[in-house]
């Protein structure tokens, strides 16, 4: 599996995570969860683009290309902005697969637009064919505005690549003749009672039987499922894809959270790799249920709890239920402290 070692990224002092098929990341705010997945996306999107480009020299300009991708993902003119400000040490990143190094680079606190690429190896061994980032559903509402901005102001920051890459793919790639994950697309259609369609002049619309609705008057929770559907029908989301999702619970009713994770479970069965960043106790409990009922196996999961220690974040990883319990305890700690305090005051 793919192992990521990072030091001094944003609030993170250090992390060492070995990704599996289903990866669940949790932790309090400002512990570096988004920093981690966004940097991971920038790296993998760059390497996979080079791998799929057909260039004879895949290592050509990788240093410049990766530096640019990191800037556009984080929307920072100076790369040094993403380096930890407390330790005063460089950001160091290393990715390895089966104990074989793939890429090793660093970024200094004073860096403007350059990374220091130490070594790059045989990155054809990366298990993913492509990397996708599930964005906030409201971005489907303003898809045309974002497209106009990116197309007319090509050199201006303002729209992160984690949003634009997937939107651009949906805009430019038509529906596949043979949809690889058609059964999952049908499952989504059943859940939401319809399907999403992209029209070049109108943007995304939701079709429910013989009726058609503009995406801007469609429920946000439905749009999350619709985004997956749009990707699946274009074979953008397929076997050996890596799907990164940040806080899907923000727009989902608890009942739909379970349905959403169930769809992800089906994707994993079809050899799609999934990373979820979440603050949802429902998602963590459902992951616990999947493990206890043997619908997921510990060998296919990775849990990562991001925690602050003396102003710096460290990461605890594992694949057993005890770490899920620790995640739940941290998520519900404030609630139980409040309830027990109120009950105690009432009793006495």
- The torsion angle over the Cα atoms of residues 281, 249, 22 and 16, rounded to 10 degrees, is -80
Give the strand pairing for 301-309 and 22-27: parallel
Question: Does residue 341 have a pLDDT over 70?
Answer: no
> CA–CA separation, 218 vs 330, rounded Å?
34
- pLDDT of the residue at 125: 82
Q: Which comes out higher in pLDDT, residue 123 or 42?
A: 42
Q: Which comes out higher in pLDDT, residue 123 or 271?
A: 271
Q: Which of 139-153, 220-234, 238-252, 287-301 has the lowest mean pLDDT?
A: 139-153
pLDDT band at 274 (very low <50, low <70, confident <90, very high): very high
- pLDDT of the residue at 263: 96
The domains of the chain are located at 2-129+239-347, 137-238
> CA–CA separation, 94 vs 86, rounded Å?
21
- pLDDT of the residue at 345: 55
- In the chain, what percentage of residues exceed pLDDT 90? 61
Nearest alpha carbon to residue 65 among 4, 73, 227: 73
pLDDT band at 344 (very low <50, low <70, confident <90, very high): low
> Across residues 36-48, what is the average pLDDT?
95
- pLDDT of the residue at 346: 56
Residue 94 tokens read as: 């290393």
Q: What CATH class is the domain 2-129+239-347?
A: alpha beta
pLDDT, tens digit, 9 for 90 and up, residues 167-180: 888 888 889 999 99
pTM for this prediction: 0.92
pLDDT, tens digit, 9 for 90 and up, residues 208-257: 888 888 888 888 889 999 999 999 999 999 999 999 999 999 888 888 99
Question: Does residue 96 have a pLDDT over 60?
Answer: yes
> Across residues 36-47, what is the average pLDDT?
95
Tell me the pLDDT of the chain averaged across its residues: 89
Question: Does residue 124 have a pLDDT over 80?
Answer: no
Nearest alpha carbon to residue 193 among 228, 230, 238, 226: 226
pLDDT band at 146 (very low <50, low <70, confident <90, very high): confident
> CA–CA separation, 3 vs 20, rounded Å?
9
- pLDDT of the residue at 22: 96
């Amino acid at each position: 599996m793919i192992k990521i070692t990072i030091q001094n990224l944003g609030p993170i002092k250090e992390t060492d995570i070995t990704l599996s098929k289903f990866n669940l990341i949790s932790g309090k705010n400002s512990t570096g969860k988004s920093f981690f997945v966004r940097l991971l996306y920038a790296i993998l999107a760059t390497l996979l683009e080079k791998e799929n480009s057909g260039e004879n020299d895949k290592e050509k300009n990788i240093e410049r290309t990766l530096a640019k991708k990191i800037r556009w993902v984080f929307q920072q003119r100076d790369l040094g902005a993403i380096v930890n400000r407390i330790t005063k040490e460089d950001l160091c990143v290393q990715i390895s697969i089966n104990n074989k190094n793939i890429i090793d680079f660093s970024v200094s606190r004073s860096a403007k637009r350059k990374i220091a690429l130490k070594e790059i190896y045989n990155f054809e061994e990366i298990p993913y064919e492509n990397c996708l980032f599930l964005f906030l559903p409201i971005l489907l509402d303003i898809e045309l505005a974002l497209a106009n901005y990116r197309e007319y102001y090509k050199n201006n920051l303002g729209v992160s690549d984690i949003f634009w890459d997937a939107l651009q793919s949906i805009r430019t790639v038509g529906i596949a003749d043979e949809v690889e994950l058609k059964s999952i697309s049908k499952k989504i259609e059943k859940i939401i009672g319809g399907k999403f369609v992209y029209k070049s002049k109108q943007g995304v619309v939701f079709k429910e039987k013989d009726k058609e609705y503009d995406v801007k008057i469609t429920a946000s929770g439905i749009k999350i499922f619709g985004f997956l559907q749009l990707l699946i029908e274009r074979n953008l989301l397929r076997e050996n894809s890596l799907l990164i999702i940040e806080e899907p619970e923000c727009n989902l009713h608890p009942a739909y959270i379970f349905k959403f994770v169930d769809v992800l479970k089906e994707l994993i069965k079809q050899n799609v790799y999934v990373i979820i960043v979440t603050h949802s106790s429902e998602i963590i409990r459902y992951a616990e249920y999947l493990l206890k009922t043997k619908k997921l196996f510990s060998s296919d999961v990775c849990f990562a709890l991001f925690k602050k220690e003396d102003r710096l974040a460290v990461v605890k990883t594992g694949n057993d239920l005890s770490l899920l319990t620790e995640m739940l305890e941290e998520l519900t700690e404030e609630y139980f402290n409040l309830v027990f305090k109120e009950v105690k005051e009432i009793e006495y």
